[in-house]
Amino acid sequence: MKFRYLPLTEEDRREMLAAIGVDSVDELFTDIPEGVRYRGRLNLPEGLSEPELVRHMKRLSQKNTSFDQAVSFLGAGAYEHHIPSVVDHIISRSEFYTAYTPYQPEISQGELQAIFEFQTMICELTGMEVANSSMYDGPTALAEAAGVAAAATRKKKILVSRAVHPEARAILQLQARGLGLVVKEIPHIDGITDLNALEAEADEETAAVILQSPNFFGNLEDLSKAEPIAHRYKGLFVVSTNPVALGLIKPPGECGADIVVGDAQPLGIPVQFGGPHCGFFATNRSLMRRIPGRIVGQTTDEEGVRGFVLTLQAREQHIRREKATSNICSNQALNALAAAVAMSALGKQGIREMARLNLQKAHYARSRLVQIPGVTPLFDRPFFNEFALKLSRPVGEVNRQLLRKGIIGGYDLGRDYPELSGSMLLAVTEVRTKEEIEQLAEALEGLL
């Protein structure tokens, strides 16, 4: 059987075996002891031709209801936004997507410069001095930030708000178990972190205070009030954020954050069932040598020409092995490129305009929906593009009914917050129209 990805012909094989000095390929495997040699035939489906594969994959994909078939109001950490057409054209250039990590800078200047530009854009959005070349995703970036804080402060207690994404907190818990850290969750009060509770928990042992803003409920935290609590005992202030919101809201860097993390997914990256997305990690120069992951720096070549290299590698596992700041050895470079292209497309004006559209649509949607009998606002706090509503019927039931009308409803907050059961978290981004919001409103009117 012939495979289109395998170029060797029978003649090639014969010539190569002769050059090696063996009679068969099997002879090259004689070092594998017979006891562990697999002599069977893997129980996998027979290979498919390209048309058969495409048909099969299409059929599988069509078993899913995509955003093109239903109007989605889901957010909760992954957001449907308009992706400028240019993004996919650029990341489809195979000089980018078929390259490895830029170990040979002379032939990787394109990637390195694009990442240097990405780092700059993340710094600009977050108000921080340095950023890395990206991380697996927002939640893991948050967990890494806790590790950095613990190492930098030589303390072990991490205070994290319960208004931080539940999955990020779960990953943080696991990371903490590995690193021997203690995580304490701070309750929320009416949808924002209870700063009195935070103040009561903060002490000499506190390595980090972690908040998210806009938080999991979509509400903006008062970062400037939380900051002194984090710093009182020389802990670090870690803020997780949404990069689109930063087109309008005050960057965490201006509120005294030491580390800012988040996910660049809303900027040019498809939701694609939750991944791959693109974490970002920004901090100040004082913590520069503790940053996990790859970092690109500017330098010059032997003739003084500006160029870019992977730098500060003395932090990393391939040099430091068990003493490395993190075990991470990759980033999400292609998605960082996508985000950089999207940020370039939006530019200084577009990021603000996009953020404004999100704000306007979400505020309109909330004011429309709370007029429906059986719908009450869950919180009354400043919010960005996501908000929570309390419904008079169970969320699961409502969502099932909405689906019949071609609407994917919001996130059931009862999944993670038993005390908020019966409440739904809805995201309204710039892609939702007034008409679609009306469609949701009318559907809810018929249900509640």
Question: Which residues in the 24-63 window bind another protein by CB under 8 A?
Answer: 25, 27-33, 35-38, 41-48, 50, 53-54, 56-63
Decide if residue 433 touches another protein (CB under 8 A). Answer: yes
Asked whether 410 and 444 are in contact (CB, 8 A), the reply is no
CB of 185 to another protein, least distance (A): 14
Which CB, 151 or 233, lies closer to another protein? Answer: 151
Size of the site for another protein (CB under 8 A): 210
Give the whole-angstrom CA distance, residue 150 versus residue 134: 21
Torsion over CA: 133, 135, 141, 144 (sign): negative
Taking each helix axis from N to C end, the angle separating 333-369 and 434-447, rounded to the nearest 10 degrees, works out to: 60
Q: Out of 151, 182, 288, 448, which residue is the one contacting another protein (CB under 8 A)? A: 288
The 69-88 contact track toward another protein, x by CB under 8 A, reads: -x-x-x-xxx-x-x-x-x-x
Residues 311-350 that bind another protein (CB under 8 A): 311-314, 316-324, 326-335, 337, 341, 343-350
Nearer to another protein, 313 or 439 (CB): 313
What is the spatial distance between Cα 333 and Cα 133, in angstroms, rounded to a whole number? 7
In the complex, what is the shortest distance from the CB of residue 98 to another protein, in angstroms, rounded to a whole number?
Answer: 3
CA distance 374 to 392: 5
By C-beta, is 296 or 378 nearer to another protein? Answer: 296
Are the beta carbons of 236 and 258 closer than 8 angstroms?
Answer: yes
CA proximity to 409, closest of 365, 363, 371: 365
Q: Report CA 336 to chain centroid distance, whole Å.
A: 11
Give the shortest CB-374-to-another protein separation in angstroms: 21
- Of 148, 152, 163, 167, the one binding another protein by CB under 8 A: 167
Which positions from 92 to 131 touch another protein by CB under 8 A, shown as an x/- string? xxxxxxxxxxxxxxxxxxxx-xxxxx-xxx-xxx---xxx
Among 64, 154, 371, 404, binds another protein (CB under 8 A): 64
Interaction between residue 376 and another protein (CB under 8 A): no
* Helix (H) or strand (E) run with residue 208 in it: strand 206-212
- For 296, residues 6+ apart whose C-beta sits below 8 A from its C-beta are 112, 115, 116, 119, 133, 308, 309, 310, 311
Choice between 231 and 363, CB closer to another protein? 363
Q: Is 327 exposed, middle or buried (0-12, 13-18, 19+ CB in 10 A)?
A: exposed
154 near another protein (CB under 8 A):
no
* Dihedral sign from CA coordinates of 333, 335, 341, 342: negative
Residues 202-241 within binding reach of another protein (CB under 8 A): 220, 222, 224
* Subset of residues 256 to 285 that bind another protein, contact rule: CB under 8 A: 263, 270-278
Separation between Cα atoms, residue 308 and residue 296, nearest integer Å:
7
Among 200, 204, 250, 392, binds another protein (CB under 8 A): 250
* CA distance linking residue 248 with residue 194, whole number of Å: 24
Site string for another protein, 392-421 (x = CB under 8 A): -------xx--x----x--x----------
CA distance 60 to 243: 33
Q: How far is the CB of 203 from another protein (least distance, A)?
A: 24
- Verify binding: residue 371, another protein, rule CB under 8 A: no
- Binding segment (CB under 8 A) for another protein, from list 155-163, 165-173, 197-205, 232-240: 165-173
d(CA 138, CA 34): 46
Tell me the closest approach of the beta carbon of residue 302 to another protein, in angstroms: 4
Does residue 17 bind another protein (CB under 8 A)?
yes
Q: Residue holding tokens 């090696």?
A: 20
